[in-house]
Structure 1
Amino acid sequence: MAETLKARLLDSDRRPAVVTDLQGLVDSEVANKSGLSGGVVKTGYAAVKKVKPGIIPEAIDKMLDEFVDQLEPFWAAYSTETGGDFGAFLAARPHEASEALLSVTDRRAERSSRAAITSVYGKLRPKAQENVVEALPGLGTVVEKHARV
């Protein structure tokens, strides 16, 4: 039986590279946003990174275990298929995959004791799903890169 995603991606020797590649994915996804809402995302992202350098990889690292837990069933199903790539597999299941991943941030927002965070998250959540769906092919590529090593 193939190793689980957890065994592959969360391995202490591999985890830093996974976090680095996921940060690269986030940076790329933000850079590719366009229009008014894209400008807002880019400006907010740059501001957060300037105010607290290192916050993006830190946040990715903190949530990685939970994200991997959510991706595990998708990886198991994908691993039984032949051909294709994991990014395409996730992209073919946009609603299911994005909801699984956003369940991690949903739980974190629910546990927050800061009303402002909960309020802002609630307003951003619908757009967040669209953004996650757009990132699924790239996410799958990063996951597969590290899971197949």
Structure 2
Amino acid sequence: MSLSDKISNQATQESLVADCAKLIDEQVAAKSGISGLALKAAYGVVKGLEPGYVPAAIQRLLPEVVAVLDPMWEEGVQSGDPVTYLTQNRAQTADALLSITDAKIEKSKNGVVRASYNKLRKSVKSDVEEAVPGLAQILGAHV
């Protein structure tokens, strides 16, 4: 059974989205220094667009995220531990995730979101890599 099949339940998806939003909040809050200030400012702008913007964005991205992670998750299942596998392959996992957001941002009509993302994109990969263990644990908990 694929990762997509395992999280097809609406209640599971809602819980997964809430946990991912919390993970993002925690990752952003933990940033420090000048780049941390920039990231926090950009994230504040995005969160200020409308209440629930971040969870709604996660919900919209979820099918594509799960689709790109499915093959890696299956490799992890075959290796014995998909959570550890994603964590050990965090650069590849981050690249897969960012390929989705890059394509979405390119099509975005919201100039504020696009500009904020593009300003931080170069440094975002390392941030996403840092979040991969948390994401892998979240997925493991919901599957």
Of 91, 96, 102 in structure 1, the residue corresponding to residue 92 of structure 2 is: 96
Separation (CA, whole Å) in 2 of partners of 1:51 and 1:123: 18
Separation (CA, whole Å) in 2 of partners of 1:51 and 1:118: 13
In 2, are the aligned partners of 1:85 and 1:141 still within 8 Å (CA)? no
Q: Deviations over 1:65-87 (max 9, x none)?
A: 000011101110000122x561x
How many angstroms does 1:114 deviate by?
Answer: 5.8
* Equivalences for residues 33-52 of structure 1 within 5 A: 33-52=31-50
How many angstroms does 1:34 deviate by?
Answer: 1.1
Question: Is 1:108 matched up with 2:92?
Answer: no
Separation (CA, whole Å) in 1 of partners of 2:18 and 2:111: 31
Of 120, 129, 145 in structure 1, the residue corresponding to residue 141 of structure 2 is: 145
Q: Which amino acid aligns with 2:66?
A: V
TM-score, scaled to structure 2: 0.88
How many angstroms does 1:119 deviate by?
Answer: 5.0
Identity %: 33
RMSD over aligned CA atoms reads 2.0
Aligned to 2:9: 11
Question: Is 1:132 matched up with 2:131?
Answer: no
- Higher helix proportion: 2
How many angstroms does 1:51 deviate by?
Answer: 3.9
* Equivalences for residues 66-85 of structure 1 within 5 A: 66-82=64-80, 84=81
Q: What secondary structure, in the 3-state scheme, does the structure 1 residue paired with 2:79 have?
A: coil
Q: Which amino acid aligns with 1:138?
A: G
Separation (CA, whole Å) in 1 of partners of 2:42 and 2:118: 17
Aligned to 2:21: 23
User: Any unmatched runs of 5+ in structure 2?
Assistant: none
Equivalent pairs counted in the alignment come to 143
In 1, are the aligned partners of 2:86 and 2:132 still within 8 Å (CA)? yes
CA gap of 1:72–1:85, structure 2 versus 1, over 3 A, is closer
User: Any unmatched runs of 5+ in structure 1?
Assistant: none
Of 16, 30, 45 in structure 2, the residue corresponding to residue 32 of structure 1 is: 30
How many angstroms does 1:141 deviate by?
Answer: 0.3
Q: Which amino acid aligns with 2:6?
A: R
